[in-house]
Amino acid sequence: MFSTQKVQASKPIIIIGNGLAGCVLAWTLTKQGTDVVIYGDKSINASRVAAGIINPIIGQRFTLGEHVPNMLDFAKAFYQKIEVELNIQCYHPTPMQRLFSSPKEQENIKKRLKLDRFTPFFTKNDISQQLKPEHSGIVQQQTAWLDTNVLLDALHHYFEQKNIISYQPYTPQSTPNIVVYCEGYHMMHNPLFSWLPLQPAHGEIISCTTKQVLAPDMINQGKWLLPTTPNTCRVGATYDTALNTPTVRASSKQQLLIFANSLFKTNPKFKVIQHQAGIRPTTLDKQPFIGFHPKHQNTAIFNGFGSRGSLLIPWYSQRFTQSLRNRSAIPAEANIDRFCDKHHWHEP
């Protein structure tokens, strides 16, 4: 179900939220000639805590989604173009040392490497000599990380220059404008969309320094280590569905430090310089929430990208922009119509 009203030039689309989803959607709309007004705030949101890791192959079963290769190509082109337009560097192609956590994972990767669609994502390079010899694994390619803070700072500055962003709270009102909510986990407090099955997941990340020179590759073994310079890195992330308020905990910091130090032959003696927490807006079926409210036809949502937002958001922004501008169909796997039944939404 989507709005039957084509966007008019005199009616800017109102976007609620200035994290990665809201900003990328706003950028995509403006670049295609649609006026927008953004309502956000200057608090630290999950997009600024996130490591921005772009990894097409996920989980212990090394899953590659049907559309992920196209999403990956689209995200790469999108970020590289925005780097040129805004004169920034935010997209960092970086190989990933994928360490096995169990013999089952080794068996899974052997099966995957027999399939042609998986082979472009792996190399025959050896695992880093910095790592302990008991760590076996494989080196992934076509992985990257997005510096979300650099990107968001640049986008906010661009929107401020255009005078299309406000840091005042949005007051819901009757309006002919289309309003798109990009609120992250805060959507669970929004009565318009709280009926959608959000599964918020609390996560903590630490930033560290070390005197040891780190190899540039990311390391992934359930948790991950992301070198940002030769002597600094970010380590994450914890996962807790029982906590709905961003909270930094000493136990989580210790857990992440133990993981990071356990990877290397020589103990890097990491020193924590920052400890952050955020809430991932994950969903019941691990697909985004995109589409129009079943009753309020000018009210929409663009949310639920979880920990894969850096990969997914550019692709879905383009498709939702086409829907907003030209009434084209929203991808079925992400359309909130899939929850518009008696088990989820019902008219008050």
Please give the CATH superfamily to which domain 13-59+148-197+285-339 belongs.
Answer: FAD/NAD(P)-binding domain (3.50.50.60)
Residue 122 to residue 133: CA distance in whole angstroms:
20
Residue 111 to residue 77: CA distance in whole angstroms:
30
For residue 21, whether the previous peptide bond is cis, meaning omega lies within 30 degrees of 0, is no
pTM of the predicted protein model? 0.94
Place of tokens 């994502």: 121
Percent of the chain residues past pLDDT 70, beyond the cut:
95
The domain segmentation of the chain, as residue ranges, is 13-59+148-197+285-339, 201-280
Token pair, residue 207, equals 């930033």
Side chain identity at residue 132, one-letter code: K
Token pair, residue 345, equals 């939404």
Which tens digits make up the pLDDT trace of 29-46?
999 999 999 999 988 788
CATH architecture, range 201-280 = 2-Layer Sandwich (3.30)
Query: Does the pLDDT value for residue 145 go beyond 50?
Result: yes
Q: What does the pLDDT read at residue 346?
A: 62
Residue 337 to residue 331: CA distance in whole angstroms:
10
Closest C-alpha to 54, from 278, 313, 332: 313
Percent of the chain residues past pLDDT 90, beyond the cut:
88
Which tens digits make up the pLDDT trace of 228-274?
999 999 999 999 999 999 999 999 999 999 999 999 999 999 999 99
Residue length of the chain: 348
Token pair, residue 127, equals 């695992």
Q: What does the pLDDT read at residue 265?
A: 94
Torsion of the alpha carbons at 305, 306, 311 and 315, rounded to the nearest 10: -10
Q: What does the pLDDT read at residue 133?
A: 85
